[in-house]
Amino acid sequence: MATPLLGAVAGALFAAVGHLGWRNEPALALTVLVGGAAILGGVAWWIKRFGVLGLPWLRAQSSNLVASRGNPSVWLVAHLDSKSQPIAIVVRALGVIGLIVTALAAAVAGAVHVAGADVRWAWPWITALGVLASLPVAASVVRSRSPGALDDASGVSTVLMVAQSLPQQLALGVVLTSAEELGLAGARAWVRGRGAAHAINVDGVDDEGALRLTWTRRRPTSLLELLTVRAGEAGVPASVGRLIPGVLLDGVALADAGWEVVTVSRGTLRTVARIHTPRDSLEQLRGEGIALTASIILAAITTSA
């Protein structure tokens, strides 16, 4: 419930800021904006990093599945749980980006207004845009109406195929996390107290589209290069980029703990539109992309060993 609550509070904050600006109180509007954004950001950061494991309310229990041999330098990761939401994941991400952009615009408008410029006309627009951007975030309630074939049975299948195919003499670590869809709780609980290592997180592998390699915090250069080269050898186009704001994956939890992590996914815009919906079923998934992605990851790991 934290994400919907933060979205609702963000909408109320922009309404208050816009109202103060419209009343020709730009200094107070700027103060409320900066203070409110700092509080919201701090609360969101604390809940994400610590509260998801430490807050005593609405608790539930689940288990990660972990197996290893030797001393693994690279762990394979995928999550076991699934969820549905009333809005598509890409819409929620756009809402988060919209909140950030609107906050920057409000800060500029407030500074210019304080300096004496007549920008009173801008405040209703700031209110409208801020409230509009907050709606998909506030609507991100968790339900259980998605079979989760793509997100993330496909990732689990890919990881298990790689683990099964790796030579027995190679060190191997596999963690299948629970509660990824609830603030990355499983990954955060598992990584707590562990020394930093490398991980390949597999989250959403469709039969069509390019291979997508995403990362956050420290760029995992060696893993990215290995996976990109192996994808090219397999004839699969690969794109590399930072994870966009508003999208939470197990790789984020591991990166927060100092790990170098690449999240591997494959698909198209139609793929993204299926995630967290009842249409994310086996009828939409042949499994060809799973086998191909597993072969790419396998080649990358065996090359680095």
What CATH number does the domain containing 188 carry?
A: 3.40.630.10
- Same domain, yes or no, for 93 and 197? no
- Same domain, yes or no, for 147 and 245? yes
Kindly report, residue by residue over 24-48, the tens digit of the pLDDT.
Answer: 999 999 999 999 999 998 988 888 7
* Residue 1 confidence (pLDDT): 66
> DSSP 3-state assignment of 148?
coil
| Domain boundaries, position 97 | 2-58+87-138
Beta strands in the chain (DSSP E): 65-69, 74-79, 172-177, 198-205, 210-215, 238-242, 260-267
Q: Is the pLDDT of residue 77 over 90?
A: yes
* Residue 147 confidence (pLDDT): 93
- Same domain, yes or no, for 277 and 228? yes
Kindly report, residue by residue over 93-117, the tens digit of the pLDDT.
Answer: 889 899 999 999 999 999 999 999 9
- Same domain, yes or no, for 122 and 214? no
Cα(211)–Cα(25) distance, integer angstroms:
50
Number of separate domains in the chain: 2
Cα(257)–Cα(192) distance, integer angstroms:
7
Kindly report, residue by residue over 67-76, the tens digit of the pLDDT.
Answer: 999 999 899 9
Phi, psi at 67, each rounded to 5°: -145, 145
Q: Is the pLDDT of residue 305 over 70?
A: no
- Same domain, yes or no, for 252 and 295? yes
Q: What is the mean pLDDT of the chain?
A: 92
CA distances from 259 to 19, 65, 195, 250 (A): 44, 19, 8, 11
Length of the chain measured in residues:
305
Helix (H) or strand (E) holding 178: none
- Same domain, yes or no, for 187 and 54? no
Q: Which of 119, 138, 157 is the last residue of a domain?
A: 138
Q: Which of 138, 153, 173 is the last residue of a domain?
A: 138
Q: Is the pLDDT of residue 251 over 90?
A: yes
pLDDT-derived band at 244 (thresholds 50, 70, 90) equals confident
- Same domain, yes or no, for 213 and 281? yes
- Same domain, yes or no, for 119 and 207? no
Name the pairing type of β-strands 172-177 and 65-69: antiparallel
- Same domain, yes or no, for 40 and 184? no
Q: Which of 105, 123, 138 is the last residue of a domain?
A: 138
* Residue 133 confidence (pLDDT): 95
- Same domain, yes or no, for 287 and 153? yes
**Sheet with 74-79, side-by-side order of all strands:** 65-69, 172-177, 74-79, 198-205, 260-267, 210-215, 238-242
SS3 content of the chain, % helix, strand, coil (to 5): 55, 15, 30
pLDDT-derived band at 57 (thresholds 50, 70, 90) equals confident
Q: Which two tokens stand for residue 52?
A: 């998801």
Nearest to 249 by CA among 261, 258, 260, 231: 261
Q: Is the pLDDT of residue 193 over 90?
A: no
Kindly report, residue by residue over 114-129, the tens digit of the pLDDT.
Answer: 999 999 999 999 999 9
- Same domain, yes or no, for 94 and 24? yes
- Same domain, yes or no, for 76 and 211? yes
Residues 6+ apart with CB under 8 A from 139: 4, 7, 85, 86, 87
